[in-house]
Amino acid sequence: MKNWKRTSKKCKTETSTSTPATKSPMSRSTTVSMLTSQTDSVLKEFQPKWLFAALAATAIFFFGACEDLGEFGPEVLPAGDRIETRYSDTNHVIFTSEWIDSTNTYRAARQLFGNYIDPDFGRITAETYTQVLPQSNLNFGDAQDLIFDSLVLKLNIESSYGRPATVQTLRIHPLTEGFPEGDTIFSTTRLAYDDSRDLGNGYQIDLGESEGVGRLTIRLDDDLGRRILFASPDTLGDKDLFQVLFPGLYLGTDPVTYQSREPGAIYSLFGSSDLTLLELHYKKRESGSQAFRPQVMPFLIVSSTPRFTHLSRTEVSDKLLAQALPQPDTAQELEFLQGGLLIRTFVKLPNLEELGQVAINQATLVLHVDRDLLGSDNRFAPPASIWPVFADSTGQPVYAGSEPVLASSAVAYNSTEGTYTIPLTNYTQQLVNGQRENYGLVLLPENPGLRINRVAIGGTSHPSLAPEFRVTYTTLPE
């Protein structure tokens, strides 16, 4: 143990004393006066001794209090035995972006269609392929009692991304190919359709100033409606036979052109809604009468209906994305993330073993969004939240079934600060303790198959928007 050292400091102590005076009241009796006189006599005899003792004790106290006892407390412990709390925000971060080939969009809650031109990310195109389901044991009755009226497709557009005021031409084609078996259809998949037949007759999507939401009502080709109405009861009542008669629909739009800045939009179709459906309007003769009564038969698109979205990116070679998207392990000024899993980012926190034996009090990774690249009027909003997903040894996101395994809960975008702040305290402690292999994390937009939102994030070589790994930790005795 370290020897204690004693040094002395000079202290100036000022004291003052006063001798109390006692007066006898004029009204006191002689006896009281005599006692008072005797008491005064005793006090006068005792006072010098008492004062000397009090002054001596006071001097000893003050001189002792001014003495420097040297180092004490944690300072007397060897360095290896001390516990200290420290903070660091200069930790090294590996941060890269990569193209994604595809993602599973089969039976997603929302399907996407439309296209837009992004000045930094290229042209994004989405197409929806969907079946429609008849009611069980459907039977319209005798054909002689039926009069066809119309076949109407209703689409509930829940949101849009891009410039929804751009008028787009909707194309609705009948599928000529059935859906593949299984529970997975990736976003690179396309099905065959008859592009010579536009069932919607060039319907114009014009949402005006509706902020990209609305309900489209489109009258389809009468021939398809008649084929369904006058099909045999066996065909209508059997799911497989009905899909041969009517395999499904393709929904897409013509490529938008530069008639305005950042033209076009992707529409989000809420497929599992009773507002999205196919309606067959017809008239049926009333029993025992010559009168015909109007009827409506719905063909629903529900959560179990086979459907998926095809996603693609084109016209990107001369855009910022293609020029800046890094090669693996290359530091860049910008990294990228986009819904639809078209682009994802990978992050790794190396060299944590250099911290030694520590307890992690708090660890956060702060990502800074380049808000100059959000389009005019913030048209291209960043993902509302992102998922930090554990990566495996190959750098791929880890899934439990169809759900990603998260290192923390979803992280919301802070539009005021322009940041995503990812809490990684537990994850960092596990890495420091050797309880988890340091394979890194994959950052995905929350519900990546449902949105197309994109963002540019400051990379490790960005002069002002580089990611910050902030750690507060306590060193522990070895």
3-state SS, residue 226: helix
Domain spanning 84-93+333-475, CATH architecture: Sandwich (2.60)
Average pLDDT value over all residues in the chain: 83
Structure tokens, 93: 């971060």
pLDDT band at 42 (very low <50, low <70, confident <90, very high): very low
Q: What are phi and psi of 185, to 5 degrees?
A: -135, 120
The arithmetic mean of pLDDT across residues 432-450, rounded, is: 91
Mean pLDDT lowest for which of 132-136, 219-223, 292-296, 306-310?
132-136
Q: How far apart are CA 320 and CA 353, in angstroms?
A: 37
pLDDT band at 446 (very low <50, low <70, confident <90, very high): confident
Residues 377, 441 contacting (CB under 8 angstroms): no
Structure tokens, 320: 């910022």
Residues 456, 334 contacting (CB under 8 angstroms): yes
Range 39-47, long-range pairs (CB < 8 A, 24+ positions): 47/19
Q: How far apart are CA 442 and CA 438, in angstroms?
A: 12
3-state SS, residue 225: helix
Q: What are phi and psi of 394, to 5 degrees?
A: -95, 5
pLDDT band at 114 (very low <50, low <70, confident <90, very high): very high
pLDDT at 43: 40
Task: List pLDDT tens digits, range 337-381.
Answer: 999 868 999 999 998 888 888 999 999 999 999 999 999 888 999
3-state SS, residue 353: helix
Mean pLDDT lowest for which of 22-31, 197-206, 217-226?
22-31
pLDDT at 466: 95
Task: List pLDDT tens digits, range 257-310.
Answer: 988 889 999 999 876 677 899 999 999 999 888 899 999 999 988 888 899 999
Q: What are phi and psi of 279, to 5 degrees?
A: -120, 130
> Does the predicted model carry a pTM greater than 0.85?
no
Domains of the chain, by residue range, sit at: 7-76, 84-93+333-475, 110-314
Strands 399-400 and 94-99: unpaired
Residue 49 has pLDDT above 90, yes or no: no
- What one-character-per-residue DSSP string does 232-289 give? -HHHHH-HHHHHHH---EEEEEPPP-SSSSS-EEEEEEETTSTTSEEEEEEEEEPTTS
pLDDT at 134: 87
E strand or H helix at 321: helix 320-324
